[in-house]
Amino acid sequence: MKKFLQVAAATALLVSASVAADYTIKFSHVVSPNTPKGKAADFFAKRVDELTAGRVEVKVFPSSQLYTDKAVMKALKIGNVQMAAPSFSKFTSLVPQLQLFDLPFLFRDVNHVHSVMDGEVGQVMKDLVTKKGFVALSYWDNGFKNFSTNGKPLIVPADAKGQKFRIMSSKVIEAQFLAVGANPQVLPFSEVYSALQQGVVDGAENPLSNFYTKKFLEVQTSLTLSSHGYLGYLVVMSKKFWKKLPDDLKPKIIQAMNEATQMNRKLAAELEDEYLANIKAYADKSGKLKIFTLTDAQKDAWRKATAVIYPDFYKVIGEDLIKKAQK
């Protein structure tokens, strides 16, 4: 009897292991697994498996293992991947209104950002993206961006003059740097470390999570805690794949995404302090990195210097959307 039970148990395990999911989602993203986005993606995969009882499997591919954010847009269209979480700038050729999130010093704090995302303005953006062949699921945080450089530390806007900065492909971010006399250069995220190391560019703008986890602190001499711009992601799914999913599974995917979004926001807030502490520890130990915090007056100077670009984007983004976001 004992032997029979052992054989039965082994058979059950083999059958269980051989049962494949009905649907597989390849989820591609470009950042490290230990970032807020990376951890939220893994959590989403776990919850989808639990909520669908294994009928849907989510395979997460971090750190540009499959595609860059730029290349993943096409991959979603042709079905090579089913999900991605690109930064907003990757959608702006399709939905230029999303450039709103790139405007410098638009948001007071993270609560302001979330009220915009979760309100009328955020829904307008998601609807526009969905019309372009994607299913816009949720907004994920990565935090506020800060300036870093190997050149002159950025304290006042004039300090940026003549310095070369890596930027994402964004007309707003390009205009932001041009407004202070800097030289913006578009480069893929995967090339930022080597570009900073080799002096192809002098500096960049990144949230603390990217600055620390991608080790940009090793190849920069100054970090300015400017919190000048928000960097977030829009989690999207292939519309073709979404239509294939049975109606009973869709709410479970949405539930998993809502839970992952709350986790992402909580992690982003918690990790901000942790990353800053680690960066400060590195700066103290190495002696190679100096950290600067802008005073209110210095931040106001930056705000005034970059606010001149707002009217240039009233037609592209929509003056009404910008003013609603400001309020």
Burial of 183 (0-12, 13-18, 19+ CB in 10 A): middle
The whole-angstrom separation of Cα 171 and Cα 164 is 16
Task: Please report the pLDDT score of residue 240 as a whole number.
Answer: 94
Phi and psi angles of residue 220, each rounded to the nearest 5 degrees, phi first:
-135, 150
Task: Please report the pLDDT score of residue 92 as a whole number.
Answer: 85
Task: Please report the pLDDT score of residue 271 as a whole number.
Answer: 86
Six token digits for residue 73: 């847009």
For residue 106, give the nearest of 240, 228, 247, 237 by alpha carbon: 228
pLDDT tens digits for range 65-121: 999 888 999 999 999 999 999 988 889 889 999 999 999 999 989 999 999 999 999
> What is the number of structural domains in the chain?
1
Other C-beta atoms within 10 Å of 40: how many? 28
For residue 25, give the nearest of 137, 131, 126, 125 by alpha carbon: 137
Mean pLDDT of 274-296: 96
Task: Please report the pLDDT score of residue 11 as a whole number.
Answer: 46
C-alpha triplet 123, 259, 141: angle, nearest 5°: 60
Amino acid at 295: T
- Residue 257 neighbours by CB under 8 Å, 6+ apart: 44, 137, 138, 235
Mean pLDDT of 166-185: 96
245 in the Ramachandran plot: left (φ > 0), alpha (ψ -120 to 50) or beta? beta
- Mean pLDDT taken over the chain: 93
Residue 124, H or E segment: helix 120-130
pTM listed for this prediction: 0.82
pLDDT of 7 above 60: no
The whole-angstrom separation of Cα 205 and Cα 269 is 19
Task: Find tokens 């560019």 and name the residue.
Answer: 201
**Longest Cα separation, the chain:** 83
CATH code (residue 141): 3.40.190.170
| β-bridge mates for residue 140, sequence order | 233
Six token digits for residue 279: 């960066």
| β-bridge mates for residue 291, sequence order | 223
Question: Do you know the residue count of the chain?
Answer: 327
25: three-class secondary structure by DSSP: strand
CA atoms within 13 A on the CB side of 263: 19
pLDDT tens digits for range 203-246: 999 999 889 989 999 999 999 999 999 989 999 999 999 999 99
Mean pLDDT of 277-294: 97
The whole-angstrom separation of Cα 262 and Cα 141 is 10
Task: Please report the pLDDT score of residue 4 as a whole number.
Answer: 47
Structural domain boundaries, residue 173: 2-326
DSSP assignment letter at 190:
G
